[in-house]
Amino acid sequence: MSSLTVAASSFSSFSLTRFAHSSSNNSLIPPKVLKVPLNANSQSSISFKSSNTPSIYRFPSLKTCAALDGKDPNGATPVLVEEESSTSSNIVNEEVEKSVKVLKNAAKTRKVPAEEVLSAFSVLEKAKLDPSKFFNTLGGTSSPGRTWMLIFTAEKKLKKGRYFPVTAIQRFDAAGKRIENGVFLGPIGSLTFEGRLSWKTRILAFIFERVRIKIGPLNPLEISLGQKEEREPSTKDPCFIWFYVDEEIAVARGRSGGTAFWCRCRRVNT
């Protein structure tokens, strides 16, 4: 992936270019065991509302559903591997399970070596997991959908990668076919892009329609990106190809070839 203008050198294919680097103190806290340290301010002002009227929410902290034992705390059906021979399937399942644990540990600690994260990406891509439940797991079954925090990004062909240095959050709304990308810089402000999405098999394509800029205590400024044509996004537009999605983490490759993974997060009351 190409570089962000100042701080993040590997995320342009995920549509978060031209953001300045900053750090703050948001944290991801799992319902049971996971705590993900972040460099993001716990009082970031953000907007996840899809209407044309900007509104401000407090994003005091974030929680992740990731569990290190690889079990789904919500009891959802596990992702299935496309059937081959019984022996081959067992081997693939074991490799996938190990790789998922590596990524969940990386989300918790941000200390897993980059080489191990890259290896886990490779295993999940080659496993060719059944994507039939990916979309609803990503975006939920009702609006405004679900939110995911970016943890790690890798360059094309998995040559190298690193933990993403700022608080970047994406919202996927499967019911409303909407997407929102945002970078949040604590008291400095935030920058978010919102638009529409489409899903086919394992490919999520999107078109951004507006950008919201929030600076300090000022009200957000909303700017139209001039996307007046109401067409469905296609693979000619920016897109993600998803290799793995469960209730805790998600892994995808962008159209330009870079790969990344996210950890599920949600707003909580203080």
Q: What percentage of the chain has pLDDT greater than the value 90? A: 61
In the predicted model, what is the mean pLDDT of residues 200-205? 97
> What is the C-alpha end-to-end distance of the chain, expressed in Å?
36
Q: Are the C-beta atoms of residues 143 and 176 closer than 8 Å to each other?
A: yes
pLDDT value of residue 87: 65
Q: Which amino acid is at 21?
A: H
Supply the DSSP symbol for 234: -
Of 47-61, 103-117, 219-233, the least confident: 47-61
Q: What percentage of the chain has pLDDT greater than the value 70? A: 66
Q: Which amino acid is at 64?
A: T
Supply the DSSP symbol for 158: G
Fold adopted by 12-267: Lipocalin (2.40.128)
SS (H, E, C) 44-60: CEECCCCCCCCCCEECC
- The Cα–Cα gap between 174 and 196 comes to 10
Which position has the higher pLDDT, 186 or 268? 186
Confidence of residue 86 (pLDDT cuts 50, 70, 90): low
pLDDT value of residue 90: 78
Q: Cα-flanking dihedrals φ and ψ of residue 100, to 5°?
A: -65, -40
Contacts of 187 (CB under 8 A, 6+ apart): 24, 41, 43, 44, 216
For the chain, the domains span: 12-267
